[in-house]
Homo-oligomer: A and B are copies of this chain.
Amino acid sequence: MTEKMHRVVLARRPQGAPVDADFRYEEAAMPVPGEGEVLVKVSHMSLDPYMRGRMDDAKSYAKPVELDHTMEGGAVGEVIASNHPKYSVGDQVFGMFGWASHGCLNGRELRKLDPRLPITTALGVLGMPGFTGWYGLMEYGKPKAGETLVVAAATGPVGSMVGQMAKLLGLRVVGIAGGDDKCKMAKEKFGFDECLDHRAYADANALRAALKEVCPNGVDIYFENVAGKVLEAVLPLMNVGGRIPLCGMIAWYNAGALGGNMTGEKDNLPKMWRSILVNRLHVHGFIISDHFASFPDFLTDVAPRVAAGEIKVVEDVAQGLENAPKAFMNMLNGGNFGKQIVKI
């Protein structure tokens, strides 16, 4: 009897927002670890907005997922067979196993996890999203006590890291999130000073007026992970010398905006470019995978804060690999509360 595993593959490229038929849940042969390889039974996988980009056949910083190939992504699990001296059966590891029940990678491509921390933290607060928030804030945001920071997707794993770290450093932190419940979570759970529900404002102008109220001293750091209406609202409020670490633009991933067929944000390039000039802003695009050399510094700084409860963790766990596409589509619409994870 050959053992089987399960996986979710990219069935076709989405037109706009992904739909069920863009994914296929299927059986596959269980891989057999070769020399130096380690076989892992995945317990939890991560769902992240960047995965939307990988579904398109467009030149980007990473290759697109090929049709009929396993959807990409990070996951955690337990070693069940090892041909690598550094790993033993039972070790907890992180690897890019994709949307799959099992994965087989060379030991060099794995990261061993500290078993004293909950395994799912390696996907969010102590994984790529948390690291993205921490690195972008510290390296490009250059936070100073007393300044004001704005971050959207405030209850997501990036935004909540940015906001909590900024609070620990003495900044005023204003979040933006979708819905009252998330705003409440940002303030009560994550300690943000204020959080605005972007759905409550018809357009960028209305959102800007509300932001102005809660940012009486302007905005020094706008941590950019959503773009769209929020970007339009925030830019004119930036103070001279403001910084914009730019790591994502989820509002535009599905909108057809990148192909030029959008509405709403028309005519705004000149105005935005002028804001950057007039307010001497520093905009730094970054892709976190360029900076993994700093990952140990991140863990050294942040893991103890997580262990001590100084940085809070909220996870939204969907059940079953076969439900990963639905959870992913829900997340792209902001339906998740906290870091989206799938329990395999």
Contact = CB atoms under 8 A, between A and B. Distances in A.
Interface in A261-287: 261-262, 265-274, 276-287
B287 A258 contact: no
B290 A280 contact: yes
Interface stretch (A173-181, A195-203, A246-254): A246-254
Contacts of A282: 282-285
Given A281-B285, A282-B282, A285-B279, A272 B269 contact: yes
16 contacts: A61-B278, A247-B277, A248-B277, A249-B270, A249-B273, A249-B277, A252-B273, A255-B270, A257-B270, A260-B270, A265-B270, A276-B285, A279-B285, A281-B285, A282-B284, A283-B283
Interface in A40-91: 60-61
Interface string A279-317: 111111111001000000000000000000000000000
Interface of A: 60-61, 227, 231, 240, 246-249, 252, 255, 257-258, 260-262, 265-274, 276-287, 290
A287 B241 CA distance: 10
A273 B287 CA distance: 14
Contact of A271 (B246, B258, B279): B258
A240 B267 CA distance: 26
Instruction: Count this chain's copies in the assembly.
Output: 2
Contact of A246 (B60, B249, B260, B276): B276
Contacts of A252: 270, 273-274
B278 A267 contact: no
A300 to B, nearest CB: 24
